[in-house]
Structure 1
């Protein structure tokens, strides 16, 4: 597997080279795409390899830029990374882990927020870690306070520098009692990656329980960790002295699967998503059924299509097992074609409706309420940061000139352009490569009409 090099697609295009797409929309997307391991698991499992005393093998690794960033960060810390015994698999050998210079870490991290998760493993292996200024998609405040507070409870010393944060553990790391203010996925991962080698027992309350978290626990258990899950979001971790490498096939990327499902609905097409599974998508499938989508669950994937006119729906994003925040953006594109008023309450991030400006420019009837909507039945408790989007449809979309703002919003813009009549120009599509493997090839596989012009 070649990570983040130009890939030549079947028709001679350079995958990953273009930053601008010219899209001619108005035709159904029909065909088959395959999804590999989840971005939100693969990158964390790669970091977990740092904890082992022997090499690890990770399978179904997608060829995306976030994986390339983590690979380069591992390599600057002395981890040897190479292709393993089958396509799409990596061997990660951490036996020669060493400290890296701040400048190297900063240069290789780019806009990624993944360096924060290196802290626990590096503190165990080297006694110190460095975090540069963190980037990521600009979808609202994503503070690292939960991470730093947890690391301090483990015994880490945190020093803030002009260029980032340096951490040390002069007395080693010890088990801790941690209660997260919010079931943050990143903070839960931080605690897991730190607690497995800490001295003593760690009790984590209000933990995230997403499928990717459960898969990370499976990875760590394969390495020799002792982790149990109790009711009401409580995870217990008994620290061990030594961990070995793992051999693991990553859980599929349910975010990408949901994105292609929404594309099928928006364009009135039919897309089979190979590798998708029902259990991890249960909540999403329930919403699709309410919207009027058809889906067939097969042994090797799920087929998505419309079953007649789309119906309006009210959705509240939430942590798992609720409706994922990453699902709402592509779904909103489909809801612009539903008959009636749909409402999406975003309760996870406070600035995730910025992408709708482009949809309105294309003809959508969407009104964003920056402080949410009061009243009405709710299942998810209100949060001070939440927003709401009201979508009235169906509205025909027309081509426009669009600039991609973030990963999921960018995918949604591409699907809106493919839904719209006429030609659209979508700029800054490189962001989409953070989470969608061989994106241009997959668009071609479902019949999209586009050119790479950048």
Structure 2
């Protein structure tokens, strides 16, 4: 199993291009099931998660062609004919979001059998809301031996759906199913994450009728068929935020390109409050900090978009380990999402966790040590901490990183980081 070794203490100076958003790309890939016409996605990230979903789509008969285009990496999806509507556990368990193929398969073919996604290290994340939404649209659903069997032989029918709480996955899933339903669907208390807006706009480009994009009420008027289109995946705001925090943690000056600072306004506001210089540019931001000047402690509370993203909480906690004073971090989105705290403490951080609250007392310096990644965002937080720690930090289980960060070592090395990947055989890659 691969690990990453970092010799801390180098300032970061240079440019990091931001990849397409993982959380948008995988839902756009699922949308390819809805049409027999080609869907070309540009600015496509090459990640473990997109690879897993590509394998699953091929199982349904979708042609998936990865290639280099004029604007970088792109992938062509062509679901001329759906030859299977079965999604086995072995593929779905590798990535929870692949469960969202259920709605498009049902909308396109009238039936599907998809494995439940299984456990998740950062909390239960149940799919009840997904299934309730599909049931409201007229699907008949049975649960048996870990599989969801869904049918709608006469097609799906529009419905009024009010989610009991904001759920990104359920909003996206209902949207993917409703675009081909007969009649009108209204989704209330819909999530407003930028990735949902990206999905909705792509569906509109394919011929869907959707009103209220970027609001918490989406109105979808079903159409009989969707066509193909070419769509550029939005920049990954979590990758952008992670590298912004990395630059602030290590010190120096990093220009983030191919990105949109408006997607991480809540993070930027807290970073500026902590004493980091963040300057907007035409296609991103410049992050600048003199490491000789101590950061100031800042409190954060994770919230649904446009609030502070739960997916940036671990990274910000790493930054606060070196801040002057005490910062309080409230996690309101996922339970059990402080598993990175004990690993940061191995590097010398002072953190106490009680339920959904972490108190971080800043220290003068972190010191390298062996640590273990527990999930995707926790693993990048340990990389960020390692960049500033004195001595060498080795991070195990970095397969988590490969799910959401493209060419991480290459991007950080280009800015002066001393970071290398060590294979399970002990050799550097």
Which bracket does the TM-score occupy, shorter chain normalised? over 0.9
The answer to whether the aligner puts 1:45 opposite 2:32 as a matched pair is no
- Which residue in the other structure is 1:393 paired with? 362
- Which residue in the other structure is 1:432 paired with? 401
State the alpha-carbon separation in 2 of the partners of residues 417 and 217 from structure 1.
Answer: 38
What is the aligned counterpart of 2:149 among 162, 166, 173?
166
Deviation at 1:298, TM superposition (A): 1.0
Deviation at 1:199, TM superposition (A): 0.7
- Which residue in the other structure is 2:90 paired with? 107
What is the aligned counterpart of 1:362 among 347, 372, 376?
347
Q: 1:271/1:224 Cα in 2 relative to 1: closer, same or farther (>3 Å)?
A: same
State the alpha-carbon separation in 1 of the partners of residues 20 and 116 from structure 2.
Answer: 27
Deviation at 1:293, TM superposition (A): 0.8
- Which residue in the other structure is 1:10 paired with? none
Deviation at 1:232, TM superposition (A): 6.4
State the alpha-carbon separation in 2 of the partners of residues 223 and 410 from structure 1.
Answer: 36
3-state SS in 2 of match to 1:88? strand
Deviation at 1:403, TM superposition (A): 1.1
- Which residue in the other structure is 1:82 paired with? 65
The answer to whether the aligner puts 1:138 opposite 2:121 as a matched pair is yes
Deviation at 1:109, TM superposition (A): 2.9
- Indicate the larger mover: 38-47 or 271-280: 271-280
State the alpha-carbon separation in 1 of the partners of residues 101 and 202 from structure 2.
Answer: 16
Q: 1:362/1:230 Cα in 2 relative to 1: closer, same or farther (>3 Å)?
A: closer
State the alpha-carbon separation in 2 of the partners of residues 192 and 361 from structure 1.
Answer: 43
- Indicate the larger mover: 306-315 or 420-429: 306-315
State the alpha-carbon separation in 2 of the partners of residues 138 and 426 from structure 1.
Answer: 18
1:295-318 deviation line (CA, Å, top 9, x unaligned): 121113211122643111111110
The answer to whether the aligner puts 1:197 opposite 2:166 as a matched pair is no
**1:44-443 alignment to 2 at 5 Å?**
44-83=27-66, 85-86=69-70, 87-102=72-87, 105-135=88-118, 137-229=120-212, 233-306=216-289, 308-370=293-355, 387-443=356-412
Name the count of aligned residue pairs.
419
State the alpha-carbon separation in 2 of the partners of residues 90 and 301 from structure 1.
Answer: 24
Deviation at 1:257, TM superposition (A): 0.4
3-state SS in 2 of match to 1:73? helix
State the alpha-carbon separation in 2 of the partners of residues 137 and 110 from structure 1.
Answer: 9
- Structure 2, unaligned runs of 5 or more: 424-429
State the alpha-carbon separation in 1 of the partners of residues 125 and 334 from structure 2.
Answer: 8
Deviation at 1:230, TM superposition (A): 7.6
3-state SS in 2 of match to 1:227? strand
Give the structure-1-normalised TM-score. 0.89
Whether the aligned pair in 1 keeps the contact of 2:36 and 2:81 (CA below 8 Å) is no
State the alpha-carbon separation in 1 of the partners of residues 218 and 257 from structure 2.
Answer: 32
1:15-71 deviation line (CA, Å, top 9, x unaligned): xxx611222112222222111211110110011111123101101001111110111
Give the structure-2-normalised TM-score. 0.94
Q: 1:232/1:254 Cα in 2 relative to 1: closer, same or farther (>3 Å)?
A: closer
1:244-298 deviation line (CA, Å, top 9, x unaligned): 0121111100100000011111112322211121221222211111111101211
Whether the aligned pair in 2 keeps the contact of 1:137 and 1:407 (CA below 8 Å) is no
Whether the aligned pair in 1 keeps the contact of 2:86 and 2:112 (CA below 8 Å) is no
Whether the aligned pair in 2 keeps the contact of 1:363 and 1:397 (CA below 8 Å) is yes
- Indicate the larger mover: 67-76 or 19-28: 19-28
Question: Aligned-residue CA RMSD in angstroms?
Answer: 1.7
3-state SS in 1 of match to 2:182? coil
Deviation at 1:217, TM superposition (A): 0.8
- Indicate the larger mover: 334-343 or 274-283: 274-283
